[in-house]
Amino acid sequence: MRKKRRIRRPIRALPRRSVVLAQDETDLRLFPPLRAAWSKGGEAARVWLSGRHARRVIFGAMNLRTGTRLLVPRQKGRSGDFQAFLAEVRSHYRGWHVALLLDEDPCHPAKASLRQAEGMTLLWLPNRASKLNPLDTLWGQAKDVIRANEQYTTIEAHVDRFLEYVAGLTNGEALHTSGVLSGGFWLKGVLSN
């Protein structure tokens, strides 16, 4: 509870022209998570795998008041990729003070990342508290819809479908799906101010 208060206070104290963004990244892999498979009774199902397991990282931010999303696919999820994402955030929200709700993934607190985020308010989530980040919920819902048990021909096709789905949600659907609109959302009273 104390850790949540340490995040709520700075949000209340933000300058007038501010935006509060939940930030997170997610990995997409070419091979889908196998959630269901059929086989004859008493026989193990065959799962075919190749040696190539392509991967892409989607960096994202969602405005916790409006539901608008900014999505940036990258080859990797290193600090340089996060810094490129921060540059996109700056460009997209030019003229606004940005408050970023984020976890302590190793690419986030890197010195160069902190320099790139200078002038932004960084709201660090407690360790192992992914349930507090609404984007984590949004990623999981999107993966369930477009990815489970489905093999795409290329990683690019997979990324395109994922981005199409997440970007295709209305702002209200994104806020609802991520849990921001629920009565128990931990920042509910703070965001309405």
Band (pLDDT 50/70/90 cuts) for residue 36 is low
Residue ranges per structural domain of the chain? 16-29+53-186
Q: Do 61 and 21 meet the contact criterion of CB atoms below 8 Å apart?
A: yes
Average pLDDT, the chain: 89
* Average pLDDT of the segment spanning 150-165: 90
Q: What is the pLDDT of residues 73-114, one digit of tens each?
A: 999 999 999 999 999 999 999 999 999 999 989 999 999 999
- Assigned CATH class of 16-29+53-186: alpha beta
Q: What is the pLDDT of residues 127-137, one digit of tens each?
A: 877 789 999 99
Residue 91: both structure tokens together: 């460009």
Query: What is the 3-state composition of the chain as percent helix, strand, coil, each rounded to the nearest 5?
Result: 40, 20, 45
Residue type for 64, please? L
Residues in the chain: 193
Burial environment of residue 89 by CB neighbours within 10 A (0 to 12, 13 to 18, 19 or more) = buried
